[in-house]
């Protein structure tokens, strides 16, 4: 996966930790702070941090709608902790005016495990990965309260509470694999990004080129 161009939303939160993991796996990483930074990336990580702050900054920098559009277009996205909240279609405990990018058919509850002092680490069985279990750090973590038919569960706590889901090209985690040395979720994300890149970057056939030419001509006529 050397050279695969992916982005990390770099407005607030544990950006450097994700950049370090992705770089160690051979990706070419872009810090996304402006809409133009999304150009050419084949995947995006939404890091942990403060979801309401990231939401406000994304709107202030004109990123909210471009990210929403990219998700709708199939861009692979990995969201951890606050990133999970930003990917959720429904958010409980949101502050006034807070919005998410959406994409995951789930309901999450912010700060479901309590405050910073209630943070904890545990081992998670992830059937998609087999053994060994995932060592997960929960830091002021959200909880996935409901999962719609579009998403499926990747991991739960021993008591059955859901902490990881996947839906198409989107992965949402309530915990922080980037701070515990766990790389398998990032590897899974990069695998999805690589498949997305192979489709996006595939050479166009004659029919595709003709359709593109028609679209360009239509757009040009619309501007005149």
Model pLDDT for residues 33-55, shown as the tens digit of each residue: 999 999 999 999 999 999 999 99
What's the pLDDT score for residue 21? 98
Q: In the chain, helix, strand, coil percent, each to 5?
A: 35, 30, 35
What is the spatial distance between Cα 222 and Cα 108, in angstroms, rounded to a whole number? Answer: 42
Told to judge if 121 belongs to the known catalytic residues of this protein, a careful annotator would answer: no
223 marked as part of a ligand binding site:
no
The residue from 18, 178, 182, 186 that is catalytic is: 178
139 marked as part of a ligand binding site:
yes
50 marked as part of a ligand binding site:
yes
Residues of the chain predicted below pLDDT 70: 1-2, 114-115, 117-118, 202-224
Domain 5-223, CATH number (from 3.60.110.10, 3.40.50.880, 1.10.40.50, 2.60.40.10): 3.40.50.880
What's the pLDDT score for residue 209? 43
121 marked as part of a ligand binding site:
no
Q: Domain-by-domain residue ranges, the chain?
A: 5-223
The residue from 17, 18, 166, 176 that is catalytic is: 176
- Torsion, Cα 176 181 185 190, to 10 degrees, reads 120
Burial class (CB in 10 A: 0-12, 13-18, 19+), 21: buried
Told to judge if 178 belongs to the known catalytic residues of this protein, a careful annotator would answer: yes
Under 8 Å between Cβ of 93 and 24: no
- φ, ψ dihedrals at 101, nearest 5°: -75, -35
What's the pLDDT score for residue 185? 98
What's the pLDDT score for residue 138? 95
The residue from 81, 166, 182, 186 that is catalytic is: 81
51 marked as part of a ligand binding site:
yes
Told to judge if 81 belongs to the known catalytic residues of this protein, a careful annotator would answer: yes
């Amino acid at each position: 996966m050397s050279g695969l161009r992916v982005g990390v939303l770099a407005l607030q939160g544990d950006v450097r930790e994700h950049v370090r993991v992705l770089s160690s796996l051979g990706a070419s990483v872009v810090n996304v702070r402006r809409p133009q930074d999304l150009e050419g990336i084949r995947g995006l990580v939404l890091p942990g941090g403060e979801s309401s702050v990231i939401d406000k900054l994304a709107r202030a920098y004109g990123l909210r709608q471009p990210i929403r559009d990219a998700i709708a277009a199939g861009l692979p996205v990995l969201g951890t902790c606050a990133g999970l909240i930003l990917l959720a279609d429904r958010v409980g405990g949101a502050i006034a005016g807070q919005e998410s990018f959406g994409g995951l058919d789930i309901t999450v509850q912010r700060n479901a495990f309590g405050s910073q002092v209630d943070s904890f680490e545990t081992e998670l069985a992830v059937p998609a990965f087999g053994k060994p279990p995932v060592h997960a750090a929960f830091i002021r973590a959200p909880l996935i309260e409901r999962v719609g038919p579009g998403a499926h569960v990747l991991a739960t706590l021993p008591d059955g509470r859901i902490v990881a889901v996947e839906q198409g090209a989107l992965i949402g985690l309530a915990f922080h694999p980037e701070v515990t040395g766990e790389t398998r979720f990032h590897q899974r994300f990069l695998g999805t990004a690589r498949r997305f890149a192979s489709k996006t970057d595939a050479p166009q056939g004659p029919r595709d080129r003709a359709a593109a030419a028609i679209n360009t001509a239509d757009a040009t006529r619309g501007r005149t």
